[in-house]
């Protein structure tokens, strides 16, 4: 079990693992794309792009060389609720990695030329999404589920809001992102607690972060058809209103998802792929936010196979809430628990798990506790949750296929 250190700021989650070669470090900012003002939607995403373009005393080329020297595993990302920057490197490069992390968080330069270049990159990203049926149907599903709620907005914003993101707007937005009480840092590996605390001392980590409130969610449950020319296959998504990330039934939801469409033995994969050959791949996955969430199913198929695939998906959704077996639950538990054990071998996974547990439950991640919670879930628990959320009449859906293919859902 990694050693936890108490002599560090409350919002610095440190796990020391002597003898390990790899170190992971990251900063999670508790404001994401959903917190962007409507008029500058996409601002957090563009700030994130610029954090690793030039920061502190590092211009673009200097920063790129440093990233490569550290091993190339430096990343920044934006989600609906959070933004983050993370670094994986070797223990002997801990100092350089932490210094870069602090500069990236606190001191991106927002030079006009850099801002304009990243705006061009983001326009290309928007065009790529518009040209990709799978991406378009994923964005449409959020609208079908939650309408105009901020959590249903594209993380990268729109062509219109991108034009509003000037260097001054981005500097002001960045200043709001890095206020005290708005971030948590995590470090795992063979590191010195004193060095970590010293290197990260410029970050405002003196208090556990708060998460800004968003408007309440209201389930829409609509169907959106994005069919158009130039698309050969039908891409389909279904979503069922589920539970928030803090709900104590999350372990049951994870098991339900595993049995439904998250594995080789899952019902949807076996039925539609292995038995009927209607699709190359089909999957399910939970989306879990602080305010709520949904369980989604996604697949792609030929237009002539769509009606049968839709019917069989709905059939399996109904069946699993009636005849899920003890064996299926146990197989799911074993796979999830072994996956957790493998995650604990990864410093970056440990950091992510620790931060998630702190933000959602105000406690450090303890694998023993999570294992007990998973083991305690019964077949009846999973059946009850399945019966509650897998209601075909209330689902949200989105499809994108060839224009004129007469795609029908029922």
Q: Which of 67-81, 221-235, 288-302 is predicted with the least confidence, judged by mean pLDDT?
A: 221-235
pLDDT digits (tens, 9 = 90+) for 385-397: 999 999 999 999 9
Q: Return the pLDDT at 403.
A: 76
- The tokens for 325 are 């077996």
| Residue listed under structure tokens 């069922």 | 240
Residue 191: name the closest of 11, 20, 68 by CA. 20
Q: Return the pLDDT at 7.
A: 67
Task: Return d(Cα 257, Cα 294) in angstroms, integer.
Answer: 11
* Across 170-186, average pLDDT: 96
The fraction of the chain above a pLDDT of 90, given in percent, is 91
CB of 251 closer than 8 Å to CB of 374: yes
* Across 143-168, average pLDDT: 97
Question: If residue 187 lies in a helix (H) or strand (E), which one and from where to where?
Answer: strand 183-189
* DSSP state for residue 222 in the 8-state scheme: -
Q: Return the pLDDT at 3.
A: 57
Q: Return the pLDDT at 300.
A: 97
Q: Return the pLDDT at 230.
A: 74
Residue 252: name the closest of 81, 387, 396, 391 by CA. 387
Residues found in the chain? 410
Which fold is adopted by the domain 3-199? Cytochrome Bc1 Complex; Chain A, domain 1 (3.30.830)
Sheet strand arrangement including 12-16: 3-4, 12-16, 183-189, 22-29, 83-90, 73-78
Residue limits of CATH 3.30.830.10 in the chain? 3-199, 223-400
pTM: 0.94
**At how many degrees (to 10) do helices 167-177 and 112-131 cross?**
80
* DSSP state for residue 77 in the 8-state scheme: E
72: confidence class by pLDDT, cuts 50, 70, 90:
confident
SS3 406: coil
Task: Return d(Cα 301, Cα 388) in angstroms, integer.
Answer: 28
| Residue listed under structure tokens 């829409």 | 220
Q: Return the pLDDT at 394.
A: 94
Which fold is adopted by the domain 223-400? Cytochrome Bc1 Complex; Chain A, domain 1 (3.30.830)
Q: Return the pLDDT at 28.
A: 98
Task: Return d(Cα 376, Cα 325) in angstroms, integer.
Answer: 16
Computed over every residue of the chain, the mean pLDDT equals 94
**At how many degrees (to 10) do helices 43-51 and 112-131 cross?**
120
The fraction of the chain above a pLDDT of 70, given in percent, is 96
Task: Return d(Cα 312, Cα 310) in angstroms, integer.
Answer: 6
206, 211, 212, 213: CA torsion to nearest 10: -150
Question: If residue 186 lies in a helix (H) or strand (E), which one and from where to where?
Answer: strand 183-189
- Number of C-alpha atoms within 13 angstroms, CB side, residue 189? 26
pLDDT digits (tens, 9 = 90+) for 223-244: 999 887 778 899 999 999 999 9
- The tokens for 220 are 């829409």
């Amino acid at each position: 079990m990694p050693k936890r250190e108490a002599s560090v700021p409350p919002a610095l989650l440190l796990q020391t693992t002597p003898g390990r070669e790899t170190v992971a470090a990251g900063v999670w900012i508790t404001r994401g794309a959903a917190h962007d003002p409507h008029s500058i939607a996409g601002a957090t995403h563009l700030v994130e792009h610029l954090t690793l373009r030039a920061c502190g005393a590092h211009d673009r080329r200097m920063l790129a060389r440093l990233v490569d020297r550290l091993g190339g595993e430096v990343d920044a990302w934006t989600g609906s609720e959070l933004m983050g920057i993370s670094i994986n490197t070797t223990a002997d490069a801990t100092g350089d990695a932490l210094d870069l992390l602090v500069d990236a968080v606190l001191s991106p330069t927002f030079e006009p030329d850099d801002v304009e270049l990243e705006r061009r990159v983001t326009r290309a990203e928007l065009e790529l999404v518009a040209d990709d049926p799978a991406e378009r149907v994923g964005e449409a599903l959020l609208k079908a589920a939650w309408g105009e709620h901020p959590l249903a907005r594209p993380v990268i914003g729109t062509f219109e809001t991108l034009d509003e993101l000037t260097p001054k707007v981005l500097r002001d937005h960045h200043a709001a992102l890095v206020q005290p009480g708005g971030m948590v840092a995590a470090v795992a590996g063979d590191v010195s607690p004193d060095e970590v605390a010293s290197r990260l001392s410029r970050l405002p980590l003196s208090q556990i972060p708060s998460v800004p409130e968003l408007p309440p969610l209201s389930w829409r449950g609509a169907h959106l058809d994005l069919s158009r020319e130039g698309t050969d296959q039908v891409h389909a998504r279904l979503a069922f209103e589920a539970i928030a990330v803090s709900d104590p039934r999350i372990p049951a939801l994870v098991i339900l998802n595993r049995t439904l469409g998250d594995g080789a033995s899952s019902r949807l994969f076996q039925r539609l792929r292995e038995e009927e050959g209607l699709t190359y791949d089909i999957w399910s996955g939970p989306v879990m936010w602080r305010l709520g969430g949904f369980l989604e199913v996604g697949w792609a198929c030929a237009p002539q196979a769509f009606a049968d695939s839709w019917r069989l998906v709905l059939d399996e959704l109904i069946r699993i809430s009636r005849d899920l077996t003890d064996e299926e639950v146990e197989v799911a538990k074993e796979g999830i628990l072994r996956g957790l054990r493998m995650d604990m071998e990864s410093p970056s996974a440990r950091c992510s798990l620790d931060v998630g547990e702190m933000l959602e439950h105000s406690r450090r991640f303890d694998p023993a506790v999570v294992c007990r919670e998973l083991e305690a879930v019964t077949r009846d628990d999973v059946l009850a949750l399945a019966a509650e959320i897998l209601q075909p009449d209330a689902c949200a859906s989105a499809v994108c296929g060839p224009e004129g293919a007469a795609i029908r859902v029922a």
